[in-house]
Amino acid sequence: MKNILKTSALLLLTTVALGSCREEKTIEETANEMIENGDKVEVKDDKVKIENEDGSEAKIKYDENGEIEKVKTDDN
């Protein structure tokens, strides 16, 4: 019984450690990827509207410094 608990604890610890070490993209990287992969990209002043052929839509709004202020997608 102790052997099963030790093995389970070790497996859980390994899973948590590997899961927390993965790289996550910044919002700028994600926005640039969306713009590059978009089918129809419209640029207006401080906004970018991206439409994909599957019907999904995303909007990226920039502040006066040119940094991303807000990203709005169909799922949020």
Each residue's pLDDT tens digit, 23-60: 778 888 888 888 888 889 899 888 999 998 888 899 99
Share of the chain above pLDDT 90, in %: 17
In whole angstroms, give the CA distance from residue 55 to residue 38. Answer: 11
Give the pLDDT confidence score for residue 16 in this predicted structure.
84
Tell me which residue has tokens 């899961």: 19
Residue 25, CA distances (Å) to 3, 36, 54, 59 in order: 39, 15, 23, 18
Q: Residue 21: pLDDT above 80? A: no
Mean pLDDT of the residues in the chain? 85
Q: Residue 6: pLDDT above 70? A: yes
Q: Which residues pair with 57 in a beta bridge?
A: 51
Give the pLDDT confidence score for residue 75 in this predicted structure.
64
Residue 67, CA distances (Å) to 12, 29, 45, 58 in order: 40, 12, 13, 17
